[in-house]
């Protein structure tokens, strides 16, 4: 008998039949002897409907009032699922973000969770009830209704699981787990039974859009075992936890990638300690995320400074960099918005020094040129021309034998 937090996303509660199917799943979990807290999103489409409605009144509605409006979506689904559970003879009670005292800061539309009180939750659980909680929402300390932003329901679920010290936080979604790479690119991609938080963070941030990165960080921080499962298909999904819990430890867990990269280089800037900050501060001020950064000293008191941004930010970043170029009397700004990033990810690689070599050889054998390389303890990323992305992913997936189950290592 375990305490499980199950989160069902918008497509999982997208219509009457699906909500009834969730009720059946919850009932089955309860009958298997587990305590269950369910966290729900709004029905898919509902959030967009409400946003469109708001726009009829105000082109730029305040974030505070948008939060008041949008939180009705989850409040609706928790009531409906509770009714469906009652109909199946399951004792259940709905609770809003406020009712579980999910306290956040005051950043409307992207609030951060400060605290979850468990007293009310524990009371209902102890009395044998399924508690059906509205995800995505909370209350600020000044008693305003807040929302947690994109993927907020995942974050709610993890926060509740952490506060309750739940045995597992199960994220039901429309994919059945985390794969070695995107199956649309490599049909031989294999579902992973388990993966570490660190690997998942690298996979998620690099474009494997299964879980919101924020909820993975949160789960890692509070050591909440996280499981990704399909709402529509049976199966064990993928368990995300710390390495210690893994029975097997393959060198490489997967190949992640990001199509939408752009690269900018400011060449011939004075090689001084403050120069990186001078280049990046206007970029940061414009709210543009910077990813891979390389500074290459030329030995003549000059340096080339290169970084990547999301392709959507390319034009704006170029403009800002031209201003910097003039100010610093650098040589020129060069850019390329036709590039993609490919990464091999795996906690096993740190004690297998041959990984980088194998990666570079594999890409070289396919005639794929690497524009830039970045490494961390559990990841090696390279930039390649966009047109080579799929080829690179497939070649690396094969080279690291990801299509077959790894053999157990000690």
* Residues engaged in binding its own copies (CB under 8 A): 16, 19-20, 23, 50, 53-54, 56-59, 61-62, 64-66, 68-69, 71-72, 75-76, 78-84, 86-87, 93-94, 96, 98-99, 120, 143-145
Instruction: Please identify which residue in the block is written with the tokens 């524009």.
Output: 371
**Closer to its own copies by Cβ: residue 137 or 181:** 137
**Closer to its own copies by Cβ: residue 123 or 150:** 123
**Closer to its own copies by Cβ: residue 2 or 88:** 88
Cβ 148 to its own copies shortest distance, Å: 18
Strands 302-310 and 290-297: antiparallel
**Closer to its own copies by Cβ: residue 65 or 385:** 65
Cβ 123 to its own copies shortest distance, Å: 11
Q: How far apart are the first and last CA of the chain?
A: 31
Cβ 230 to its own copies shortest distance, Å: 23
Nearest to 8 by CA among 30, 50, 37, 47: 37
**Closer to its own copies by Cβ: residue 15 or 188:** 15
Provide the token pair at 210: 């299964």
CA dihedral for 102, 162, 21, 10, sign (positive or negative): positive
Q: Are 211 and 177 in contact (CB under 8 A)?
A: no
Cβ 157 to its own copies shortest distance, Å: 19
What contacts 253, CB < 8 A, 6 or more positions away?
180, 192, 195, 196, 199, 203, 345, 346, 347, 348
**Closer to its own copies by Cβ: residue 60 or 274:** 60
Cβ 42 to its own copies shortest distance, Å: 10
Cβ 173 to its own copies shortest distance, Å: 22
Cβ 101 to its own copies shortest distance, Å: 9
Q: How many residues does the chain have?
A: 410
Provide the token pair at 364: 């070289």
What contacts 84, CB < 8 A, 6 or more positions away?
19, 20, 22, 23
User: What is the largest distance, in Å, between two alpha-carbon atoms of the chain?
Assistant: 78
**Closer to its own copies by Cβ: residue 46 or 202:** 46
């Amino acid at each position: 008998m375990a305490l499980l937090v199950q989160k069902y996303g918008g497509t999982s509660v997208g219509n009457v039949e699906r909500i009834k199917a969730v009720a059946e799943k919850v009932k089955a979990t309860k009958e298997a002897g587990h305590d269950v807290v369910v966290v729900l999103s709004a029905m898919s489409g509902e959030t967009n409907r409400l946003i469109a409605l708001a726009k009829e009144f105000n082109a730029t509605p305040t974030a505070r009032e948008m939060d008041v409006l949008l939180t009705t979506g989850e409040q609706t689904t928790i009531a409906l699922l509770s009714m469906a559970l009652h109909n199946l003879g399951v004792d259940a009670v709905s609770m809003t973000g406020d009712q579980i005292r999910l306290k956040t800061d005051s950043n409307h539309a992207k609030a951060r969770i400060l605290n979850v009180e468990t007293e009310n939750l524990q009371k209902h659980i102890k009395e044998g009830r399924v508690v059906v909680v509205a995800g995505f929402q909370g209350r600020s300390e000044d008693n305003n209704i807040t929302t947690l932003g994109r993927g907020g329901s995942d974050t709610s679920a993890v926060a509740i699981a952490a506060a309750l010290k739940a045995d597992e936080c199960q994220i039901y979604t429309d994919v059945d787990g985390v794969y070695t790479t995107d199956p649309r690119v490599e049909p031989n991609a294999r579902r992973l039974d388990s993966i570490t938080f660190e690997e998942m963070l690298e996979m998620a941030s690099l474009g494997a859009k299964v879980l919101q990165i924020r909820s993975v960080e949160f789960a890692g921080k509070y050591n909440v075992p996280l499981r990704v499962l399909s709402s529509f298909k049976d199966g064990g999904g993928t368990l995300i936890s710390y390495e210690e819990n893994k029975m097997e430890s393959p060198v490489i867990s997967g190949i992640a990638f990001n199509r939408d990269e752009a690269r900018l280089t400011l060449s011939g800037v004075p090689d001084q300690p403050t120069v990186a900050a001078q280049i990046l501060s206007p970029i940061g001020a414009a709210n543009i995320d910077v990813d891979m950064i390389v500074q290459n000293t030329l030995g003549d008191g000059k340096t080339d400074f290169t970084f990547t941004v999301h392709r959507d930010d390319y034009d704006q970043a170029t403009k800002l960099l031209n201003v910097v170029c003039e100010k610093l009397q650098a040589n020129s700004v060069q850019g390329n918005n036709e590039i993609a990033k490919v990464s091999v990810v795996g906690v096993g690689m740190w004690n297998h020094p041959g990984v980088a070599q194998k990666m570079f050889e594999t890409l070289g054998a396919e005639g794929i040129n690497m524009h830039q390389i970045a490494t961390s303890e559990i990841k090696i990323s390279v930039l390649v021309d966009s047109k080579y992305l799929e080829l690179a992913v497939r070649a690396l997936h094969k080279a690291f034998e990801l299509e077959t189950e790894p053999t157990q290592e000690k």
